[in-house]
Chains A and B, each alone.
Chain A
Amino acid sequence: KNEVEQSPQNLTAQEGEFITINCSYSVGISALHWLQQHPGGGIVSLFMLSSGKKKHGRLIATINIQEKHSSLHITASHPRDSAVYICAVRSGTSGSRLTFGEGTQLTVNP
């Protein structure tokens, strides 16, 4: 079992829908990252969080440390949100290193 599991692996939505991507991890962590990989391959950081909730525009990230679970929500989805969304964790025993989930491929149709 991977340390970081994402679900679903693939997600297709219609424009305007509310989207949720989930990330579960099996180790104690000090930080969790959500990243976005564009169709062209570039990777950008969306959020880094260690507790609670963060919001940026239409994106919201939450984390429940006790349940070892994080969610990324996209409100009013748009075709330009189509990308791979990647969860990564810094565990308490890995020093500076990150462990990555396999990613969730999101396609938003007009």
Chain B
Amino acid sequence: NAGVTQTPKFQVLKTGQSMTLQCAQDMNHEYMSWYRQDPGMGLRLIHYSVGAGITDQGEVPNGYNVSRSTTEDFPLRLLSAAPSQTSVYFCASSWTGGSYEQYFGPGTRLTVT
């Protein structure tokens, strides 16, 4: 099993550009989530999904969109990048959320100039 994979590992964007961060898992997990990690702050939830076709907002959803057309994939779209979105982004998956072991992807380091 590859576990949770994320692409790209690094990305530099200009303000106003859009892009999609990819996340995939091969463990048939129902629950998938996106977090951002900023210095001095804990991981913060952006969006999450409890199954294919079902998504919901987390703590910091503004400026991001998600979709979940398959169990395996959960892409995160930045609609119009802003410097405040410079961060490290982690995708995670688990069976049904917070009461099960969490599996994290390797992260994407995004810089918006």
Contact = CB atoms under 8 A, between A and B. Distances in A.
B106 A30 contact: no
Contact of B58 (A30, A42, A97, A102): A97
B98 A30 contact: yes
Interface in A29-56: 30-31, 33, 35, 41-45, 48, 50
B98 A42 contact: no
B50 interface: yes
Interface stretch (B36-44, B62-70, B71-79): B36-44
B42 A30 contact: no
Interface string B78-113: 000000000010101000111111111011010000
B15 to A, nearest CB: 25
B40 A98 contact: no
Contact of B99 (A30, A44, A86): A30
A99 B99 CA distance: 12
Interface residues of B, number: 27
26 contacts: A2-B42, A30-B99, A33-B102, A35-B102, A41-B106, A41-B107, A41-B109, A42-B104, A42-B106, A43-B92, A44-B104, A48-B99, A48-B102, A88-B43, A88-B98, A88-B102, A90-B98, A94-B98, A95-B97, A96-B96, A97-B58, A98-B98, A100-B35, A100-B42, A102-B40, A102-B42
